[in-house]
Amino acid sequence: MDGTFPDMAKLTPPVLRGDTWYLIRRVPGRYSRIDPRQKVRVSLATDSREVAEAKAPIVWQQLIEAWEARLAGDVGDAQQRFDAAKDIAQSRGFRYLPAAQVARLPIEELVARVEASVDSKGAVDPVTADALLGTVKAPDLTVSKALDRFYEVEAVRVKGKSKDQLRRHKAPRLKATRNFIKVVGDKPLDQITTRDLFDFRQWWQRRVTAGEVEPATANKDMVYLMAMWKPVARDAQIMLKINTDGVMFDEGKKKTRPPFSPAWIKDKLLPGIVRMNAEARGILEIMVNTGARPSEISALNAHTIVLDADVPHIRIIEEGRTLKSQFAERDIPLVGVSLEAARRNPAGFPTYVDNPGLSDTINKYLEENGLKETPRHTLYSLRHSFESRMLKADFPERLKATLMGHRLQREKYGEVDLDHVRGWLLKIAI
The string of pLDDT tens digits covering residues 167-182 is: 889 999 999 999 999 9
Alpha-carbon distance of 254 to 205, in angstroms, equals 18
**Whole-angstrom Cα distance, residue 295 to residue 237?**
38
Check residues 135 and 198 and name the one with the higher pLDDT. Answer: 198
93-100 average pLDDT score: 86
| Choice between 71 and 59, residue whose per-residue pLDDT is larger | 59
pTM of structure: 0.58
What DSSP string describes 221-234? Answer: HHHHHHHHHHHHHH
Is-contact 58 52, C-beta < 8 A? no
Selected residue with higher pLDDT from 78 and 47: 47
pLDDT confidence tier of residue 253, bands split at 50, 70 and 90: confident
298, burial (CB in 10 Å: exposed 0-12, middle 13-18, buried 19+): buried
Q: Specify the higher pLDDT residue, 371 or 411.
A: 371
What is the per-residue pLDDT for 77? Answer: 64
3-state secondary structure of 239: coil
Long-range CB pairs of 391-400 (<8 Å, 24+ gap) are 392/428, 393/424, 393/427, 393/428, 395/424, 399/424
SS3 164: helix
Q: Is residue 318 pLDDT above 50, yes or no?
A: yes
Q: Give dist(CA 151, CA 153) in Å, integer.
A: 6
CATH of 262-426, one of 1.10.540.10, 3.40.366.30, 1.10.110.30, 1.10.443.10: 1.10.443.10
Query: Sign (positive/negative) of CA torsion 294, 298, 304, 309?
Result: positive
Give pLDDT, residue 197: 94
Note the pLDDT of residue 213. 87
* pLDDT band per the 50, 70, 90 thresholds, residue 68: confident
User: 117: pLDDT confidence band, cut at 50, 70 and 90?
Assistant: confident
How far is the C-alpha of 275 from the C-alpha of 210, rounded, in Å?
A: 40
Quote the pLDDT of residue 414.
Answer: 47
CA 93 – CA 122 distance, rounded (Å): 20
Q: What pLDDT does residue 265 have?
A: 96
Please, what sign has the CA dihedral across residues 169, 410, 408, 323?
positive
At 9 the pLDDT is 43
- Residue positions counted in the chain: 430
pLDDT band at 413 (very low <50, low <70, confident <90, very high): very low
pLDDT score of 430 more than 90: yes
Burial class (CB within 10 angstroms; exposed 0-12, middle 13-18, buried 19+) of 197 = buried
Least confident window among 190-199, 268-277, 375-384, 400-409:
400-409
Checking if the pLDDT of 412 tops 90, the result is no
Closest alpha carbon to 232 in 337, 148, 292: 148
Percent of the chain with pLDDT over 90: 48
Mean pLDDT of the chain: 86
How many percent of the chain have pLDDT more than 70?
Answer: 91
Q: Among 304, 294, 272, which residue's Cα sits nearest to residue 361?
A: 294
Of 77, 80, 57, 56, nearest in space to 68 by CA: 80
Cβ–Cβ under 8 Å, residues 134 and 82: no
pLDDT, tens digit, for every residue of 20-41?
888 888 888 887 776 767 888 8
DSSP code of residue 301: B
- pLDDT given at position 121: 67
For the chain, domain boundaries = 8-133, 143-236, 262-426
pLDDT score for 422 = 95
Q: Would you state the pLDDT for residue 416?
A: 66
Parallel/antiparallel/unpaired status of strands 313-316 and 39-43 = unpaired
Residues 195 and 294: their CA atoms lie apart, in Å, by 42
Q: Each residue of 328-362: pLDDT tens digit?
A: 899 999 999 999 999 999 999 999 988 888 889 99
